[in-house]
């Protein structure tokens, strides 16, 4: 029996992909106990975008959300997504902060950490993996389902991305201590027969105890087929989302896969009947999100452009939003055509956060300004300068000269330049009068301005009337 395990993304990627990560904790709570009874491998519930959105838009402490999830999810491990040395944010953090964040994630309830680097540079997940092994190992000693280290390969296509490339990377991650290897296909670029080939190759190359976990989306409409072919090739875990927030830019739906595998050698062991009331709840939540304008029904459609332009779902909605704000919605096709050009110029990075944002924003600028690299973001410059890590292919020298303007490139691990920073950041949070817990330092490190605004709001709420704040009328007291 090769039972297939399922991670449901309803609490993270599903609403991140469909509704700009706006699902609130109170919209999750009513069905957490039922979700816990389903028999999932894990429930994805946390990541950089949820962390940001909690503080920025929802006036929620992301750590409180995590603790609430953990309180209700007694059996099912909570899985999170960690961006290697970028942690939950968009810059490189010093190793002491990496260690502290991973410690606090496990301490507050995370069971499985999926860690990846946007550029597939193993040096960028080294420190995270070390911390995951350290703190996860302690957790695992008492509960073998928790404290899991899942290293993810950013799946993408392009000249460098051969079967051999992916197998070598997976073996490197396994040697570094990964319990699971994830194929992270955030753009749904992985086609069904390629998935079969890739999973088969990984199964042959990796140790039998290493689980292979596939993460795809249904942006291009191939997601269910990708999952099924991967299952035929022996994948251990696949990601799906309960139907009300499934498909389109999110994951393929959970219910049809459960039904498809029922009674076969791949049976998930999940009872469809248990999913129905939970799905009914999220149907209402999806309607609420649509009513408040967070859910754009367009993202549910099959979009074959992704296969051509290699743009992940989240990135596509970001591009649409950026152009909408600039009043240039008619430029979408031009921007989509510019994305692969920018990508080639900067050495073919996989398109995942943050490189997807960097390349996307630069493509928007190149089109809106009417001249390529006339305006360059700091992030684009850093990517060209090697500050995000090693890109798989050589840079386009002409573009690099325009972008870098003589700035020096680096070829060592970017975080090697960083001095320890936790104590310094802690002192800043304390000096501002916002310190209530160690986790605040990590929130502040991840999104300084957003966190500070959230802390102000929290302080006003907790202290009742704060005269200064009350005067502005900005913060409810």
Q: Is 44 in the site for Co ion (CB under 5 A)?
A: no
Nearer to Co ion, 47 or 111 (CB): 47
Least distance CB 248 / Co ion (angstroms): 12
**Region near Co ion per CB under 5 A, out of 9-17, 110-118, 191-199, 413-421:** 9-17
189: Cα within 13 Å, side-chain hemisphere: 21
Cβ-based nearer residue to Co ion, 49 or 54: 49
Q: Which one of 10-18, 63-71, 346-354, 391-399 is the stretch in contact with Co ion (CB under 5 A)?
A: 10-18
Residue numbers 301-340 binding Co ion by CB under 5 A: none
Q: Which stretch binds Co ion (CB under 5 A): 5-13, 90-98, 413-421, 430-438?
A: 5-13
Structure token digits, residue 422: 């936790």
Measured from the CB atom, the residue of 94 and 187 that comes closer to Co ion is 187
- Shortest Å, Cβ 451 to Co ion: 24
Cβ nearer to Co ion, comparing 248 with 386: 248
Q: Two tokens at 335?
A: 């921007």
The answer to the question of residue 182 lying near Co ion (CB under 5 A) is no
> To which residue do tokens 């201590």 refer?
177
Q: Give 351 or 400: the residue with its C-beta nearer to Co ion.
A: 351
User: C-beta of 52: minimal distance to Co ion in Å?
Assistant: 16
The nearer residue to Co ion, 18 or 133, going by C-beta atoms, is 18
Asked if 17 and 243 touch (Cβ cutoff 8 Å), the reply is: no
Residue with tokens 């691990």: 413
CA angle, residues 205, 207, 209, in degrees to nearest 5? 140
Least distance in angstroms from the C-beta of 94 to Co ion: 27
Given a contact cutoff of 8 angstroms between Cβ atoms, the answer to whether 294 and 20 are in contact is yes
> What are the tokens at 57?
């838009």
Distance CA 367, CA 277 (A): 47
In the complex with Co ion, which residue's Cβ is closer, 186 or 429?
186
In the complex with Co ion, the residue whose CB is nearer, 114 or 456, is: 114
**DSSP code for 329:** G
Element (H, E) at 435: none
Q: Which stretch binds Co ion (CB under 5 A): 184-192, 274-282, 338-346, 372-380?
A: 184-192
If you ran DSSP here, which 8-state letter would residue 11 be given? T
What DSSP letter does each residue of 232-280 carry, written as one string? Answer: HTT-SEEEEB-GGG-SBTSPPBHHHHHHHHTTSTT-----HHHHHHHHH
Residue 103 and residue 83 in contact, taking contact as beta carbons nearer than 8 Å:
no
Task: Rank residues 147 and 223 by Cβ distance to Co ion and give the closer one.
Answer: 223
Nearest residue (beta carbon) to Co ion: 186
Q: How many CB atoms lie within 10 A of CB 212?
A: 21
Residue 8 near Co ion by CB under 5 A: no
Of the listed pieces 13-21, 252-260, 291-299, 328-336, which binds Co ion according to CB under 5 A? 13-21
Whether the CB-CB separation of 32 and 278 falls below 8 Å is answered with no
CA atoms within 13 A on the CB side of 134: 14
Supply the minimum distance, in Å, between the C-beta of residue 134 and Co ion. Answer: 27
Peptide bond into 354 cis (omega under 30): yes
The interface mask with Co ion, positions 133-172, x = CB under 5 A, is ----------------------------------------
Stretch near Co ion under the rule CB under 5 A, chosen from 92-100, 180-188, 318-326, 432-440: 180-188
The residue range among 161-169, 186-194, 286-294, 406-414 that interacts with Co ion, by the rule CB under 5 A, is 186-194
| Nearest distance in Å: CB 374, Co ion | 33
Residues in the chain: 477
Q: Which is nearer to Co ion, 13 or 99 (CB)?
A: 13
# residues near Co ion by CB under 5 A: 2
The residue from 8, 13, 338, 382 that contacts Co ion (CB under 5 A) is: 13
Verify binding: residue 239, Co ion, rule CB under 5 A: no
Closer residue to Co ion in complex, CB, 89/313: 313
| Longest alpha-carbon distance in the chain | 66
Between CA 284 and CA 278 the distance in angstroms is 10
Q: What is the CA radius of gyration of the chain?
A: 22
Burial of 269 (C-beta count, 10 Å sphere; 0-12/13-18/19+): middle
Asked if residue 10 binds Co ion (CB under 5 A), the reply is no
Does residue 164 sit in helix, strand or coil? helix
Site pattern 245..284 for Co ion (x: CB under 5 A): ----------------------------------------
In the complex with Co ion, which residue's Cβ is closer, 305 or 453?
305
Residue range at the interface with Co ion (CB under 5 A); choices 185-193, 303-311, 365-373, 393-401: 185-193
187-206: which residues touch Co ion (CB under 5 A)?
none
Q: Which of 259, 185, 188, 262 is nearest to 218 (CA)?
A: 188
Say whether residue 69 binds Co ion (CB under 5 A): no
> What would the DSSP string read from start to end of 180-194?
EEEEEETTS---HHH
> Does 186 sit near Co ion (CB under 5 A)?
yes
- Interface residues with Co ion (CB under 5 A) are 13, 186
């Amino acid at each position: 029996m090769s039972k297939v395990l399922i991670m449901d993304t309803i609490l993270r990627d599903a609403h991140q992909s469909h509704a700009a990560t706006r699902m609130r904790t109170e919209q999750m709570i009513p069905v957490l106990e039922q979700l816990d009874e389903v028999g999932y491998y894990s429930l994805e519930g946390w990541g950089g975008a949820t962390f940001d959105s909690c503080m920025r838009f929802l006036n929620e402490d992301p750590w409180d959300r995590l603790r609430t999830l953990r309180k209700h999810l007694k059996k099912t491990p909570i899985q999170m997504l960690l961006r290697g040395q970028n942690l939950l944010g968009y810059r490189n953090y010093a190793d002491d902060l990496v260690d502290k964040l991973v410690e606090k994630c496990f301490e507050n309830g995370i069971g499985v950490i999926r860690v990846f680097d946007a550029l597939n540079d193993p040096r960028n997940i080294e420190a995270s993996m070390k911390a995951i092994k350290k703190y996860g190992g302690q957790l695992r000693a008492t509960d073998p389902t928790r404290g899991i280290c899942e290293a993810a390969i950013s799946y993408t296509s392009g000249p460098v991305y051969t079967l051999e490339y992916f197998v070598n990377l997976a073996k490197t991650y396994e040697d570094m201590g990964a319990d699971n290897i994830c194929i992270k296909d955030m753009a749904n670029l992985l086609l069904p027969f390629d998935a079969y080939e890739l999973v088969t190759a990984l199964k042959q190359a990796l140790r039998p105890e290493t689980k292979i976990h596939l993460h795809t989306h249904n942006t291009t409409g191939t997601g269910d087929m990708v999952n099924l072919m991967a299952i035929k090739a022996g994948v251990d875990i696949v990601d799906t989302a309960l139907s009300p927030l499934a498909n389109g830019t999110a994951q393929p739906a959970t219910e049809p896969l459960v039904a498809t595998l029922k009674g076969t050698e791949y049976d998930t062991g999940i009872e469809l009947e248990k999913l129905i009331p939970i799905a009914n709840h999220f149907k209402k939540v999806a309607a609420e999100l649509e009513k408040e304008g967070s859910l754009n029904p367009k993202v549910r459609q099959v979009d074959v452009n992704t296969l051509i332009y290699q743009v992940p779902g989240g990135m596509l909605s970001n591009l649409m939003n950026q152009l909408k704000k600039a009043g240039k919605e008619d430029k979408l096709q031009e921007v989509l055509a510019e994305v692969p050009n920018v990508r080639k110029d900067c050495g073919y990075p996989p398109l995942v956060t943050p490189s997807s944002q960097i390349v996307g924003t630069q493509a928007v600028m190149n089109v809106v300004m009417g001249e390529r690299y006339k305006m360059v973001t700091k992030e684009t410059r850093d990517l060209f300068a090697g500050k995000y890590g090693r890109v798989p292919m050589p840079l386009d020298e002409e573009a690099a000269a325009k972008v870098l303007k003589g700035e020096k490139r680096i070829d060592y691990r970017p975080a090697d330049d960083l001095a320890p920073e936790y104590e310094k950041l802690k002192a800043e949070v304390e000096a501002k009068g916002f310190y209530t817990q160690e986790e605040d330092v990590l929130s502040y490190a991840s999104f300084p301005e957003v966190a500070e605004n959230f802390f102000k709001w929290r302080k006003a709420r907790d202290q009742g009337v704060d005269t200064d704040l009350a005067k502005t009328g900005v913060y409810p007291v």
